[in-house]
């Protein structure tokens, strides 16, 4: 969509919204929910984020390839399947929450802020404190939408193209507005089941602490219906990397997670489907899961598990929710770049950090500021109470390894919650969060743990603190 047409679309959406705050009395404790689905596929030629090697990189750098949207990366050549933005809007009295999912590599904080501004211009009541943005972590989704220079230069998202960032922000804003406008009295329920055998731990080959089946099997499902029992939304929360397609794929795709969503919609009875990734920092899809792509042999197994879990949930019109959100400054990075820590690195070309380190014999700590990478993430906790059961959903601003995910779940239960949903890749994207043992071992995830050996503690403490704000 051209920028001028985007502005027209914004104005048209804003006109009928009026004041949603007046539509429901502030003292009404009824749970209201609305859902929206927006095709957010960016123009042909957008770089595909997620890989820094293979067909994704231009072969002769620093000579630019003179394309409309790429600098260091090869332009995409087509669309295998659309990338989408979806939103679930919730309201109860004066309490609001907007849960937004996007088929993207990461949830950039700047994009999120711009999207909230656009939603507000269209008449929405959304705020930075009430909107959570969750990236699916597809490695074939759009790049060039984040200003973080480190991501542009290292793991390959390419330099920011403001036109693309604005177009995606408008799509997110539209989804927020449409979901808010569509709110009706609703019922809600939450449960967690176990889904083994579709993922593997990719660090098992280098870590003595892990086996291939050292995964997070928790499949969280949030069911939302209207009061007649018609499905509004199904949120599924699971730890899996979007890497069924490798760097040789040059077509836009939402990867395995999008394949599952498409299958769920085809089967029917689930409403709008929304995927929230979890502690997938070291969790890949199993080889058999990706076979048959783009149909994905593992997609029916995942979809059937989601449907089964959803059917077992008894949603309640008396469900309640609470939300808390705060910014936690991490400060400059403490990236320990040494040849010893990079011994498990696989070089991907002349631009990757492993090759550069070998050339200049690096042995230093890099203290990079916010112009390089986001360092003041927003943590958000949403509490759902259904028939006496308390569920915590807590955001994590990057890629937590499964060990950290286990620790955060234990902390949540210790606070008094009955179950915990981990929302990784949410609100910001600040790299990997390796636990101390895995950090010392090295490897890709360790190398991209930017705040040193204490990174996972920073994340864990922030999750526990924000969780505590909604338990009392």
Q: Is 129 exposed, middle or buried (0-12, 13-18, 19+ CB in 10 A)?
A: middle
d(C-alpha 189, C-alpha 384), whole Å:
8
Question: DSSP for 303-358?
Answer: HHHHHHHHHH---BTT-EEEEEEEE----S--EEEETTTTTT----STTSHHHHHH
**Quick one: which of 236, 235, 253 has its CA closest to 244?**
253
Tokens of 16: 């009928």
DSSP 75: P
Tokens of 50: 């997620």
Instruction: Tell the residue number behind the tokens 């360092």, with chain if given.
Output: 375
Phi, psi of 249 (to 5 degrees): -80, 125
| 241 annotated to a ligand binding site | yes
Q: How far is CA 330 from CA 1, 164, 327, 352, in A?
A: 37, 28, 10, 25
| 137 annotated to a ligand binding site | yes
Helix (H, G, I), strand (E, B) or coil at 95: strand
- Answer for the pair 49, 142: CB distance below 8 angstroms, yes or no: yes
**Quick one: which of 253, 256, 257 has its CA closest to 244?**
256
Instruction: Tell the residue number behind the tokens 């949030």, with chain if given.
Output: 222
Question: How do 231-238 and 272-277 pair as beta strands?
Answer: parallel
Q: Is 361 exposed, middle or buried (0-12, 13-18, 19+ CB in 10 A)?
A: exposed
Instruction: Summarize the annotated binding site as residue ranges.
Output: 137, 241
Instruction: Summarize the annotated binding site for Zn(2+) as residue ranges.
Output: 137, 241
């Amino acid at each position: 969509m051209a920028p001028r047409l985007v502005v027209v679309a914004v104005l048209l959406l804003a006109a009928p919204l009026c004041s949603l705050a007046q539509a429901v009395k502030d003292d009404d404790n009824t749970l209201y929910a609305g859902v929206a689905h927006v095709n957010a596929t960016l123009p042909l030629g957008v770089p595909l984020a997620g890989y820094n090697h293979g067909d994704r990189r231009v072969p002769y750098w620093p000579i630019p390839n003179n394309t409309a949207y790429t600098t260091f990366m090869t332009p995409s050549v087509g669309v295998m399947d659309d990338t989408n933005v979806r939103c679930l809007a919730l309201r109860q009295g004066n309490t609001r929450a907007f849960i937004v999912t996007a088929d993207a590599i990461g949830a950039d904080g700047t994009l999120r802020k711009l999207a909230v501004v656009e939603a507000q211009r269209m008449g929405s009541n959304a705020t930075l404190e009430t909107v959570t943005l969750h990236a699916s972590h597809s490695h074939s989704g759009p790049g060039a939408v984040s200003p973080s220079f480190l991501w542009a230069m290292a793991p390959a998202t390419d330099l920011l193209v403001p036109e693309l960032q604005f177009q995606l922000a408008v799509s997110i804003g539209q989804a927020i507005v449409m979901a808010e406008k569509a709110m009706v009295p609703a019922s809600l329920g939450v449960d967690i089941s176990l889904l083994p055998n579709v993922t593997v731990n990719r660090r098992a080959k280098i870590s003595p602490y892990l086996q291939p089946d050292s995964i997070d099997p928790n499949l969280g499902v949030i069911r939302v219906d209207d009061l007649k029992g018609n499905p509004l939304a199904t949120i599924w929360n699971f730890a899996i990397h979007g890497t069924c397609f490798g760097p040789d794929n040059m077509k836009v795709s939402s990867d395995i997670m999008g394949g599952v969503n498409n299958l769920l919609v085809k089967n029917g009875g689930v409403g709008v489907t929304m995927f929230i990734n979890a502690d997938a920092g070291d969790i890949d899809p199993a080889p058999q899961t990706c076979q048959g792509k783009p149909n994905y042999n593992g997609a029916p197994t995942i979809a059937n598990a989601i449907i089964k879990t959803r059917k077992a949930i008894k949603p309640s019109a008396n469900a309640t929710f609470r939300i808390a959100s705060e910014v936690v400054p991490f400060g400059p990075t403490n990236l320990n770049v040494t040849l010893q820590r990079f011994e498990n690195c696989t070089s991907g070309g002349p631009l990757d950090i492993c090759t550069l380190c070998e050339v200049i014999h690096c042995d230093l700590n890099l203290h990079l500021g916010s112009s390089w990478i986001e360092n003041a993430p927003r943590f958000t906790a949403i509490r759902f109470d259904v028939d006496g059961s308390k569920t915590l959903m807590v955001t994590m601003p990057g890629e937590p390894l499964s060990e950290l995910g286990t620790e955060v779940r234990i902390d949540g239960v210790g606070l008094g919650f009955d179950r915990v949903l981990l929302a990784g890749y949410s609100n910001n994207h600040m790299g990997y969060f390796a636990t101390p043992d895995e950090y010392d071992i090295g490897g890709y995830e360790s190398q991209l743990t930017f705040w040193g050996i204490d990174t996972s503690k920073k994340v864990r403490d922030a999750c526990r603190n924000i969780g505590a704000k909604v338990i009392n």
